[in-house]
Structure 1
């Protein structure tokens, strides 16, 4: 387990987002999605499992102009579980990046199976 200050955790999340290609970053910015860092998932979110991140919303490939107003989609990154699983700061930063990419993948409609194949699982 490794603990880092909240500011450093947020910086690692931002670094992961900054590593995305410009066209992906633009699509995220236009997608009405909030990226949130929470200490722990709620019981409803986790369903009893140890979640590192979570995407809640309608994937871009399933949206319609007929949907009307919708609440912003949300990508959660859970600092508690990520810090508990990490053995070093470098490992934590790597897992944060993988988690961010994994949840962004869900925004784009990529399945868990495919994300695991790509190494973002």
Structure 2
């Protein structure tokens, strides 16, 4: 059970409108999550890099309080917050074991419309 206590998984969902970071244990149970709306940002300020920076700082403080030493990071989305969040987590002294990009990519797209007959 020592492995369970010192290992965590971070999910970063970074869209053009918001950044959400979730810390889970190895079984997927949520321990802590933060978004820019929780920190008091409203409207277009939620999508800024400053909001993502504050989210990652809060998350690293929570990780250190929970005594988690090693994390796996899963990143999803195309927004500004993913790079900044990774940089701050790495500089805080937490060991990042793996970084995985789980952004969904369409491999063939939607079906095209039928050709119009006149």
Q: Same fold (TM over 0.5)?
A: no
Between Structure 1 and Structure 2, which shows a larger proportion of strand residues? 2
Q: TM-score, normalised by structure 1?
A: 0.28
Greater helix content: 1
Higher relative contact order (CA 8 A, sep 6+): 1
Larger Rg: 2
